[in-house]
Chains A and B, each alone.
Chain A
């Protein structure tokens, strides 16, 4: 049977990179005692995948992981209890559902995500011109340089992937395209914004930085459905 877990990744766990985090889940599952399925072949590995990786330093409240059990009809209350009991501080189980037969894999289902970008006091002070920030977001196209998988640098237009935004004091709330067909990394958006505002943020310092938090991931916006909501 297939299960989708919704979880949070916060606190110190933000410093654990995606690959290390994947290896950590393998250990959590082993410790939990759930009958997770193993792949066939000479080098069997646990069958699970994370819907959308989080970059180091990004926290998340609506993260998703798909996994397969080697048995059918496993008791979901027991499942949740077993998994929750081994998770460390900073990783929290929100929910777990049996995945409908026809559901797409989490990775393929991602369409959009909500982010909260919080500017440090000093960074906000340097970006106090809200009119100019609004101007940035309302441009026809926001072209940045982006390296493709082969390492070639191409022009890449962010604007089709920015679904909405909202300036709220020190924070920027935005809904960005997420997934395999179009994916906007918040760091890329912030880079373009800094350039437009004419400020340079090459490396974080103790006073110049911003925090990235991902609230939720959606499989569709109309109707609005998260990765564990199905009709």
Chain B
């Protein structure tokens, strides 16, 4: 048995010890001395969450495919384990070789949601590393971060040595090559290596090294100017992506955890990007353009994954699965060759409800008819036009009818409250739409509709304006407004047939600050963490008062970031990042939204968003 960082007898005193030992099927083990770069890859949340994340698996396999690099995993320990580590003064360690994080060359975070920032700081603390880059030792690991959150890296800029913008497959190999060369260069003093490496990173596209930039502010707190502190520091950092997904390496041997993760199944990635252009959706803009894997590639990958993992379920992942061009033949293959042949169940993501998808669902889930999910996002057509959600009331009612005729009688509906320009009428339209769906059910002949009545579940979340969307300038509703709107809807919903899931808006408000914060917000995150904040994404751990005190202590007004409407003239903290889609396009989209003008999706018409600069994907299809 390999040596564990935490002695076995102590491991037996904590909950779910299997998450700390790194012996899963397909976990990678490399002997010391066979590699030179040691990379600690961290998803700053619990093991069972992190192990469900495809991105982590992609990074892990991408790095471990190289002989010169050994990538190991690190997660947030559960609270009982955290206490044990503190009591026995055991520094946080990697799972595979049980090595202290402190001794690695890199500590890389994948940041999927803003509310994991305090967990990131906690990982640094448990690893016995200083929180701020400037305070860390020259021999400490190089701390880096990627993932959707870093499209606005500024609120966490002081903690991270460098950020990587875009898809890892594109330029991470180049970064690792650079480090390898420097590590093997005897003329470079290991004590000077980190500083020199960060400087050389200024030549690498997609990399942002915050220490080489400074920001000055106007008196009102808005940004006056960004200053370049190094001659090579680029004024804009361009997102990196992979053009051809068929030739890109993929995780053919993903780790299969013993401890059941949230999603315990094969995940097959169909395409990246989304052509829909919903105006609230950050993913819809930052991952442009749409790039698909070919049917042949997916068939091959599905077969390989089912043999390599032994999983009994396969699911499809992408931003809008129904848009995959060859979804029908792909599903036929998955049903006939994978599901029936290998007894691997196909689990479908939420699809656009049309006759094709209902037929497909019928084929897949023979008898168990679980619920169907619609995400109209807004109740009124006016509001749906504002957000460019290309779905009409007729689509929704027709889809529901088809679903009822197909035997489903549980329908889940997702909406957002607080969308730009929302009125009382728009909110009440949510309850009216839900009523109309119930009515649709009862309009069907008794013999033809499923027995047992209809069950409708309406859930709302609060709108959070995100960077790189047409709504990036919009002021978010205040906490009070959110709660009033929710109460209004709650009163309007007919509870006899409809269940309403509501939430508290405190977390959404805080997320609003993090999402569009600047460097000044870093002080607040640090202060909240030092006063005990962590696991903020978990409602049982989230403590809003702690955050309020942190804002007050740092003299930072949350409303400045969350609720303030920005003008087009203002320099936004993330303007220096180039995602391909231009600011000009986002401005136009914002203006169109205010006039309720819908924008066609990329499949129908090119609206010249700027993503053509990547020379590939949907922008160049059928145009040769």
**Contacting residues, chain A, for B367 (C-beta < 8 A):** 42
Contact B310 A17 (CB under 8 A): no
Q: Please report the C-alpha to C-alpha distance between residue A103 and residue B406 in the assembled complex, in whole angstroms.
A: 47
Q: Please report the C-alpha to C-alpha distance between residue A21 and residue B264 in the assembled complex, in whole angstroms.
A: 14
Q: Please report the C-alpha to C-alpha distance between residue A16 and residue B312 in the assembled complex, in whole angstroms.
A: 20
Contact B21 A15 (CB under 8 A): yes
Q: Total A-B residue pairs with C-beta atoms closer than 8 Å?
A: 78
Of B13, B21, B312, the residue contacting A30 (CB under 8 A) is: B312
Q: Please report the C-alpha to C-alpha distance between residue A205 and residue B6 in the assembled complex, in whole angstroms.
A: 11
Contact B10 A204 (CB under 8 A): yes
Contact B312 A206 (CB under 8 A): no
A198 interface contact, C-beta 8 A: no
Contact B17 A56 (CB under 8 A): yes
B25 interface contact, C-beta 8 A: yes
Contact B18 A17 (CB under 8 A): yes
Contact A42 B366 (CB under 8 A): yes
A131 interface contact, C-beta 8 A: no
Known: A206-B88, A209-B12. A12 touches B310 (CB 8 A): no
Of A16, A20, A30, the residue contacting B310 (CB under 8 A) is: A30
Q: Please report the C-alpha to C-alpha distance between residue A150 and residue B2 in the assembled complex, in whole angstroms.
A: 40
Within B299-350, the residues touching A (CB, 8 Å) are 307-312, 342-343
**Contacting residues, chain B, for A14 (C-beta < 8 A):** 8
Q: Please report the C-alpha to C-alpha distance between residue A193 and residue B17 in the assembled complex, in whole angstroms.
A: 26
**Contacting residues, chain A, for B342 (C-beta < 8 A):** 30
A53 interface contact, C-beta 8 A: no
A136 interface contact, C-beta 8 A: no
Contact A15 B11 (CB under 8 A): yes
A23 interface contact, C-beta 8 A: yes
A38 interface contact, C-beta 8 A: yes
**Contacting residues, chain B, for A100 (C-beta < 8 A):** none
Q: Please report the C-alpha to C-alpha distance between residue A138 and residue B421 in the assembled complex, in whole angstroms.
A: 81
Known: A15-B17, A44-B343, A88-B25. A26 touches B10 (CB 8 A): no
Q: Whose C-beta in chain B lies nearest to the C-beta of A45?
A: B312
Q: Whose C-beta in chain A lies nearest to the C-beta of B307?
A: A31
Within A185-223, the residues touching B (CB, 8 Å) are 203-206, 209, 211
Known: A12-B23, A16-B258. A27 touches B12 (CB 8 A): no
A120 interface contact, C-beta 8 A: yes
B452 interface contact, C-beta 8 A: no
Q: Whose C-beta in chain B lies nearest to the C-beta of A15?
A: B17
Interface size on B, residues (CB 8 A): 31
A57 interface contact, C-beta 8 A: yes
Q: Mark A74-91, 1 if CB is under 8 A from B, else 0.
A: 000000000000101110
**Contacting residues, chain B, for A209 (C-beta < 8 A):** 9, 12
Q: Please report the C-alpha to C-alpha distance between residue A209 and residue B8 in the assembled complex, in whole angstroms.
A: 10
Contact B25 A26 (CB under 8 A): no
A11 interface contact, C-beta 8 A: yes
- Give chain A nearest CB distance to B8 CB in angstroms: 8
B33 interface contact, C-beta 8 A: no
B260 interface contact, C-beta 8 A: yes
Of A21, A57, A120, the residue contacting B258 (CB under 8 A) is: A21
B221 interface contact, C-beta 8 A: no
Contact B310 A206 (CB under 8 A): no
Of A42, A44, A206, the residue contacting B10 (CB under 8 A) is: A206
Q: Mark A21-39, 1 if CB is under 8 A from B, else 0.
A: 1011011111100000010
Q: Please report the C-alpha to C-alpha distance between residue A209 and residue B259 in the assembled complex, in whole angstroms.
A: 24
Contact A20 B18 (CB under 8 A): yes
B605 interface contact, C-beta 8 A: no
Point out which of A12, A38, A57 has the most chain B C-beta atoms below 10 A from its C-beta: A12
**Contacting residues, chain A, for B12 (C-beta < 8 A):** 15, 56-57, 204, 209
A98 interface contact, C-beta 8 A: no
Q: Please report the C-alpha to C-alpha distance between residue A20 and residue B21 in the assembled complex, in whole angstroms.
A: 14
Q: Whose C-beta in chain A lies nearest to the C-beta of B88?
A: A206
Q: Whose C-beta in chain A lies nearest to the C-beta of B2?
A: A12
**Contacting residues, chain A, for B310 (C-beta < 8 A):** 26-31, 86
Residues of B within 8 A of A (CB): 1-2, 7-13, 17-18, 21, 23, 25, 88, 256, 258-260, 264, 307-312, 342-343, 366-368
Of all A-B residue pairs in the complex, the 8 with the closest CB atoms, nearest first, are A27-B310, A209-B9, A30-B310, A11-B1, A31-B310, A57-B12, A12-B23, A15-B17
Residues of A within 8 A of B (CB): 10-17, 20-21, 23-24, 26-31, 38, 42-44, 56-57, 86, 88-90, 120, 203-206, 209, 211
Q: What are 6 A-B interface contacts by the 8 Å CB criterion?
A: A14-B8, A15-B17, A23-B260, A120-B9, A205-B9, A209-B12
